Amino acid sequence: MSKPINILIAPDKMKGTLSAKEICEIIESVALENNYVDSIGDSVKFNCTSLPLADGGDGSLSVLKNVLQLQKVNLKVKGPLLEPIRSHYAVDNKGNAYVEMAAAAGLVQVSPEKRNCMHTTSYGFGELINHAISSGIKKVYLFLGGSATCDAGIGMATALGYKFLDKEGKQIQPFGGQLNRVTKIELPQNLEVIKQTSFITLYDVNNTILGSQGAAPAFAPQKGANIQEVRILENGLTNIVELLKTNNDSFENIRPAKDDFQNLEQIRGGGAAGGMGLGTYAFLGAQLSPGTEEIMRLTKFSERIKNQNIIITAEGQIDKSTLNGKVPFGVALEAKNRGIPCYVIGGSVKLMEMQKDQLDVIKWYSLSDSVGKVKSLSNPKGALSKVAKIMLEDIALHHSKI
């Protein structure tokens, strides 16, 4: 028998079907409960290590909970429709806070028939942040993704004391559909507290706030907006960007002086979560960071990868957005840099061969291609078990002499 093959399982969730933790458990179970042989018929064993990951969006706190020994802080806030909801953020033993936008302004918190980002707000996200910094916390990680909003962060900022006024000097309701009415932004009384806090925003998509791939055209339709409403939202987001530029002296004071407020529409990740990326940048002075990279750093991925022979990663849908820094991209890139073979499983794989060539992946596996789309969604555990067994048989055949 060959020596055991060390495998690191480092997936993202398959949204709506399997969590990253469940994916790890299923693949490890399939690896341990079945018999595998190499090319000459000798038995092959696997030593599996699990490391659930996330891209900085919803689900990030569940991934970090055990790694960072996070403690939950529960409180009531206003939800996407300003209704009272139960929410939470987390703190680590160093006194840093971790706040997930989807916990207070998530799409899942709005019933399908009420979903329309013209009429939703990120106010509750701001309440979570305000509670953390009012408790004396000086470093806050913000996780974007899975949001129900397209309000450029004005809901969040309103909860922190900012005022967004119309031409008559009246404060507007902080919804996406109201962005175009804003003519003046007043700074909050607790600005010094905000300035003294270090904010790190993790974005799950690198889209800018404006343009054909900006927050409104790219994501608002998924949140209930029709074509005409997308145009209204785009105009509103443009209005906020221009107001921030016009008042750059006030807002540059929140950020390091070297930052250029005249290029807000070009900031990577600015369009994440309905423009919340830009909102945290402008209103909180946040540092924007690609979510996958930061999660990999926080989970000490570079240390966990040592002494591994194979890496397996996964995601719900593998498509061109995966190549913009999603978990499989980050994992495969690190594997390539270390010379470790990498295998990828997707709920579906929608990459052309030339796109696949951008990543040095040994083989791609698709649940929908293997068992059909209907079965992969109705029985994702069974589908993943079947595909994982096929993949592990391939690994045994080709990598037993590592």
Give me the CATH number covering residue 113: 3.90.1510.10
Q: Quick one: 102 and 226 in the same domain?
A: yes
Q: What contacts 266, CB < 8 A, 6 or more positions away?
A: 208
Judge whether residue 319 has pLDDT over 60.
yes
| Count of domains for the chain | 2
Can you give the pLDDT at residue 57?
86
Neighbours of 55 (CB within 10 A): 33
Can you give the pLDDT at residue 400?
60
Q: Quick one: 17 and 107 in the same domain?
A: no
Q: Quick one: 286 and 305 in the same domain?
A: no
Can you give the pLDDT at residue 259?
67
Judge whether residue 336 has pLDDT over 90.
yes
pLDDT band at 216 (very low <50, low <70, confident <90, very high): very high
| Mean pLDDT across the chain | 93
Last-in-domain residue among 264, 293, 322: 293
Q: What's the whole-model pTM score? A: 0.90
Number of H helices, E strands in the chain: 17, 15
Q: Quick one: 92 and 238 in the same domain?
A: yes
Rounded Cα–Cα distance for residues 243 and 376 (Å): 47
Can you give the pLDDT at residue 106?
95
Tell me the per-residue pLDDT of 368-396, one tens digit each, with 9 for 90 and over.
999 999 999 999 999 999 999 999 999 99
pLDDT band at 352 (very low <50, low <70, confident <90, very high): confident
Tell me the per-residue pLDDT of 271-293, one tens digit each, with 9 for 90 and over.
999 999 999 999 999 999 999 99
Q: What contacts 121, CB < 8 A, 6 or more positions away?
A: 78, 80, 81, 82, 105, 149, 151, 155, 158, 173, 174, 175, 176
Last-in-domain residue among 293, 328, 358: 293
Q: Quick one: 304 and 238 in the same domain?
A: no
Neighbours of 213 (CB within 10 A): 13
Give me the CATH number covering residue 351: 3.40.50.10350
DSSP 200-232: EEEES----SSSTTSHHHHHGGGGT--HHHHHH
CB 5 within 8 A of CB 46: yes
Judge whether residue 257 has pLDDT over 60.
no
Beta bridge partners of 343: 312, 363
Can you give the pLDDT at residue 101?
97
Long-range contacts made by residues 354-359, C-beta under 8 angstroms, separation at least 24?
A: 355/320, 355/323, 358/323, 359/323, 359/328, 359/329, 359/332, 359/333
pLDDT band at 357 (very low <50, low <70, confident <90, very high): confident
Q: Quick one: 28 and 138 in the same domain?
A: no
Q: Quick one: 91 and 185 in the same domain?
A: yes
Beta strands in 233-292 (DSSP E): 287-290
CB 205 within 8 A of CB 269: yes
Q: Quick one: 47 and 121 in the same domain?
A: no
CB 50 within 8 A of CB 103: no
Last-in-domain residue among 293, 316, 336: 293
Query: Which domain, by its residues, includes 258?
Result: 60-293
Helical H segments across 4-47, by residue range: 20-33
Q: What are phi and psi of 253, to 5 degrees?
A: -65, -25
Q: Quick one: 138 and 233 in the same domain?
A: yes
Rounded Cα–Cα distance for residues 179 and 315 (Å): 34
Can you give the pLDDT at residue 58?
85
Neighbours of 19 (CB within 10 A): 18
Can you give the pLDDT at residue 1?
56
Rounded Cα–Cα distance for residues 41 and 49 (Å): 25
Can you give the pLDDT at residue 188?
95
CB 141 within 8 A of CB 264: no
Can you give the pLDDT at residue 399?
78
Tell me the per-residue pLDDT of 223-254, one tens digit each, with 9 for 90 and over.
999 999 999 999 999 999 999 988 777 776 77
Can you give the pLDDT at residue 395?
96
Mean pLDDT of 258-272: 84
Token pair belonging to 272: 């994440």
**For the chain, what percent of residues have pLDDT higher than 90?**
84
- CA within 13 Å, CB half, 245: 11
Q: Quick one: 124 and 235 in the same domain?
A: yes
Q: Quick one: 13 and 64 in the same domain?
A: no
Q: What are phi and psi of 87, to 5 degrees?
A: -140, -170
Q: Quick one: 71 and 10 in the same domain?
A: no
Tell me the per-residue pLDDT of 84-136, one tens digit each, with 9 for 90 and over.
999 999 999 999 999 999 999 999 999 999 999 999 999 999 999 999 999 99
* Residue 136, phi-psi category: left (phi > 0), alpha (psi -120 to 50), beta (remainder): left
- Among 278, 264, 333, which Cα is nearest to 149's? 278
